A and B are shown apart, each in its own frame.
Chain A
Amino acid sequence: MAKLNLLLLLVLIVCALGLVTSRHESRKLFTELEREQERARALEIEFGQLQLEAGTWGLHSRVEKIATGALGMRAPDPRRVRMVEVKGEPRR
């Protein structure tokens, strides 16, 4: 009887230690999750800022100014444009 009790006590102690460890692990993982989520938010914000930057650099008026001014480009005369129909693709 006493042996069994001793054994049970041992099992209990092991279980208790296991609980403590897993609790600790879970908290560590949670902190990590929290950090990653924070990073995801920061990246989301950065994405927005980059989109904004891309939008500003790619403003049509700016592109047009550079194309006509610095690069000397112009829209082709409509007579020099030939429409090509791609086979198989329905006409839009």
Chain B
Amino acid sequence: MSAVGVPMMVRLPAWRARFTLVVLLAAFLVLGARSVYLQSMNTSFLQGKGEARYSRVLEVPATRGRVVDRNGEALAISTPVKSVWAIPEDVNATAPQLKSLAALLSIDARELDRKISEAEREFVYLKRQIAPETAARIAGLGIPGIHQQSEFRRYYPGGETMAHVIGFTGVDDVGQEGIELAQQAVLAGVAGSRRVIKDRLGRIVEDVESIRAAQDGRDLVLSIDSKIQNLAFGALKSAVETHKAKAGAIVVLDVRSGEVLALANLPTYNPNNRARLTGAQLRNRVMTDSFEPGSTLKPFTVGLAIETGRLTPESTIQTAPGTLTIGSYTIHDAHAGAAMSVAQVIQKSSNVGAAKIALAMPREEMYDLFKRVGFGAAPRLGFPGEASGRLREAKTWRPVEQATMAYGHGISVSLIQLARAYTVFARDGELAPLSLVRTGAPAAGTRVFSPEVARALRAMLEAAVQPGGTAPRARVVGWRVGGKTGTAHKQENGAYAAHKYVSSFVGFAPVSEPRLVIAVMLDEPSAGQYYGGQVAAPVFSQVMQGALRLLGAPHDAPLAPIELPGEGDEVKENT
């Protein structure tokens, strides 16, 4: 130590300065290394973190496509609605608030109270799918713990008239019946998402990327004409009520394009309000039910016989004494006839005549014909649950079965198969392909009969609706019509039920240049009348008259009033 007060130069050791310098440099090096590391190695992580502060991924909802009829009238439309839900724990509302909430949701106040006091549940729907206006008023109440979410709801303006064609979607917007189910892939949209940058106020200021583009469902234009549909539904409904039938079905086809213009079933339901639906209401009988068609099949048997040159329309068939016994089975005619021409077999609907014609042909040929007009195979319209009907292999047919099949027993078809098969007569021998979607263009068919045979059959079927035939009530004023009745006993537990019938009528008009095929079926008419000519033919007539007027088809018959035969004058058939 040196003396106090005397300043002295102290020489610090040189290493200390160097040490400080090295430390400082090292600190800089660390900083530099760190920044290099952050900038180059770890950059994506940091950028991601940064973006998370201001970028958001948004759901882009997609709407389900509309369904419209051939004239563009809306049949099914999705529109946004709100669902209201609550977190019971968070709900904190005053009594008057709860009361007005219950009123807005139109549910019982006690029910609401029960729902929001379920403490163990974290999420409870108070009501699904309410109108956006109501939802806005609920939001206006400002009750904490009550939330809303956007959903789509599907509305069906056509209601019960269109129910079986359109079907409906479930609460999750997925098709469950009808066209909604069949065309789910087309109608359904795919929700997308995108990343955006939002500013302080929550406005979107920049679109960063579209992660998945939203795809709205495509609109679907059906072949249905809602005017004809309404006409058909109304006529069917009044017939089902008058004749106290268990069920009824009708289908209208456009002959040239094969489009389905109308398709209705009873009983039906309202697709907008589907509480307490029964299976019977949901059933689309036109497509999914097959029945024994009865006499409506006779023209095919006769057509085949003429086509193959075995008979001409003028050939005579001996039907006396009105019965024909094959093995242990006897075929009856309702009206015991004498020798009849082939045309009269159709006109009077003689079972014996049809059976005799059938037995003169090999069973393979008949089987082949039935196959070619579309029996025994689903029509493949893409509809859920299409019936293919029952057509057994030809080699299993016994003679009696071949005979009964000639008049439509021992074989079953759906109403749409039957209607389609009749396009063979209406289209000069060609079978039309069917479509439920508007095509608007004539469709190429597959030839089954030659044009001459088809025209000959048309003439016979026209005779069947004249006085002296089975269905004079099928005629319409101003147009020539042709068609065939069917009245078949229903099968129950493998045997024919005595007093249960399926009455049907299939026909076309105008005969000179057919435009429409209409098939009508009534199940178990139980008000006394059950013959196809009395029950189903008037429905045909009513719908055909209206539909031809709507289509503006030129008249091909004088506009004279139709004289209906008196009671008892009609020829009745028993199949």
Contacts and interface: CB of A to CB of B under 8 A. Distances in A.
Given A52-B77, A55-B74, A79 B555 contact: no
Contacts of A34: 203-204
Nearest to A51: B74
Question: How would you classify the secondary structure of chain B's contact residues: helix, strand, loop or mixed?
Answer: mixed
Interface stretch (B44-52, B119-127, B226-234): B226-234
Contacts, number: 72
Contacts of A78: 477-478, 545, 549, 559
B80 interface: yes
A74 interface: no
Interface string A1-36: 000000000000000000000000011001100100
A45 B77 contact: no
A46 to B, nearest CB: 9
A35 to B, nearest CB: 9
A92 B77 contact: no
A61 B546 CA distance: 14
Interface string B452-488: 0000000000000000000000000110000000000
Q: Is the interface of A mostly helix, strand, loop or mixed?
A: helix
A3 to B, nearest CB: 35
Contacts of A91: 554
B59 interface: no
B73 interface: yes
B206 A30 contact: yes
Interface string A34-56: 10000000001100110110111
A60 interface: yes
A30 B204 contact: yes
B78 interface: yes
Contact of A83 (B205, B226, B554): B554
14 contacts: A26-B206, A30-B204, A30-B205, A55-B73, A55-B77, A55-B158, A56-B157, A59-B159, A61-B234, A78-B478, A78-B549, A81-B549, A83-B555, A92-B551
Interface of A: 26-27, 30-31, 34, 44-45, 48-49, 51-52, 54-56, 58-61, 64, 75, 78-79, 81, 83, 85, 91-92
Given A51-B77, A52-B155, A59-B159, 12 more contacts: A31-B205, A48-B77, A48-B78, A48-B79, A52-B74, A59-B158, A60-B226, A60-B227, A61-B230, A61-B234, A78-B549, A81-B478
